[in-house]
């Protein structure tokens, strides 16, 4: 069989399919490596912020990325209006009370649905409440619309309008770590947990491993496809000699 005939039997379809699969798997593996670097940076920032003392809201506003940093709240949160965000905390349904302080949204904490009462106004503020800044994502277009002061998604823009906050909407919410109403035990202040799952290295190795498997699969099929054709060449040569003689 001639070289041209062997080239005619080259598995172009298989090559294209394997090339597409290889590009997809390598792309997914590379993306997971990038996610790994991002997650490691996020964990490092969280750990570094935990060792730093709380700052003022003015200082917090000057930081390029204040996520995980703590600030001292000086507003009279006991006498500020708030809206309610439907939420679940430790498997229990309820709401989170959202107020404002110096153009920052303040998550005051969780109240279970079994509690119908709301805190009463107090004659004096509770000074020195510490809150942790966390970045929040804007809700998607399928999020339910608010009903009065009850929200069903953390729509910071709509919450800011409802609370009378002027100016640009910050992509951060301050989560109070102390209660604005210490005498009201039903309120549970809490910031989102800073524990991060970091399985991106395992995912990357999985995708790259599958890419190597595709390469091995392609080489094995290619050799199997071409070897029988190459093996016929000596036999054809012998037959040609017999015919000549």
How many CB atoms sit inside 10 A of residue 29's CB?
A: 19
pLDDT for residue 6 is more than 70:
no
How many CB atoms sit inside 10 A of residue 115's CB?
A: 14
pLDDT over 90 for what percent of the chain? 49
Residue 104: which pLDDT band, with cuts at 50, 70 and 90?
very high
* 73 within 8 A of 244, measured Cβ to Cβ: no
* 14 within 8 A of 221, measured Cβ to Cβ: yes
Question: In this predicted structure, what is the pLDDT of residue 228?
Answer: 55
Mean local confidence (pLDDT), 186-200 = 79
- From the list 88, 82, 134, the residue with the least C-alpha distance to 108 is 82
* 95 within 8 A of 109, measured Cβ to Cβ: no
Question: In this predicted structure, what is the pLDDT of residue 156?
Answer: 94
Kindly report which listed range (3-17, 24-38, 126-140) carries the lowest average pLDDT score: 3-17
CA 214 from centre of chain:
29
- Tokens 């001639």 sit at which residue? 2
Q: Which of the pair, 229 or 224, is modelled with greater confidence?
A: 224
Mean local confidence (pLDDT), 111-126 = 84
Vertex 33, ends 31 and 39: CA angle to 5°?
A: 100
Quick one: tokens of 112? 């279970």
pTM of this structure:
0.68
* 82 within 8 A of 99, measured Cβ to Cβ: yes
DSSP alpha helices (H): ranges in 113-199?
156-162
């Amino acid at each position: 069989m001639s070289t041209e005939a062997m080239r005619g039997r080259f598995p172009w379809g298989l090559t294209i399919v394997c090339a597409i699969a290889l590009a997809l798997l390598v792309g997914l593996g590379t993306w997971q490596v990038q996610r790994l670097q991002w997650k490691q940076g996020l964990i490092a920032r969280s750990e570094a912020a935990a060792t730093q003392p709380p700052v003022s809201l003015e200082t917090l506003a000057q930081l390029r990325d204040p996520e995980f940093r703590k600030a001292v709240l000086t507003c009279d949160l006991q006498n500020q209006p708030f809206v309610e965000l439907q939420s679940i905390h430790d498997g229990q349904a309820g709401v989170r009370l959202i107020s404002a302080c110096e153009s920052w949204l303040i998550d005051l904490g969780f109240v279970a649905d079994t509690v119908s009462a709301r805190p009463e106004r107090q004659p004096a503020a509770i000074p020195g409440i510490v809150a942790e800044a966390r970045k929040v994502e804007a809700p998607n277009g399928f999020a339910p619309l608010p009903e009065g002061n009850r929200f069903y998604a953390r729509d910071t823009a709509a919450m800011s309008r409802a609370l009378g906050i002027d100016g640009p909407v910050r992509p951060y919410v301050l989560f109070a770590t102390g209660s604005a109403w210490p005498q009201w035990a039903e309120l549970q202040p809490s910031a989102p947990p800073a524990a991060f799952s970091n399985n991106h290295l395992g995912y990357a190795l999985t995708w790259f491993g599958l890419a190597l498997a595709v390469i091995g699969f392609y080489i094995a099929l290619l050799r199997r496809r071409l070897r029988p054709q190459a093996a016929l060449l000596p036999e054809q040569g012998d037959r040609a000699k017999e015919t000549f003689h």
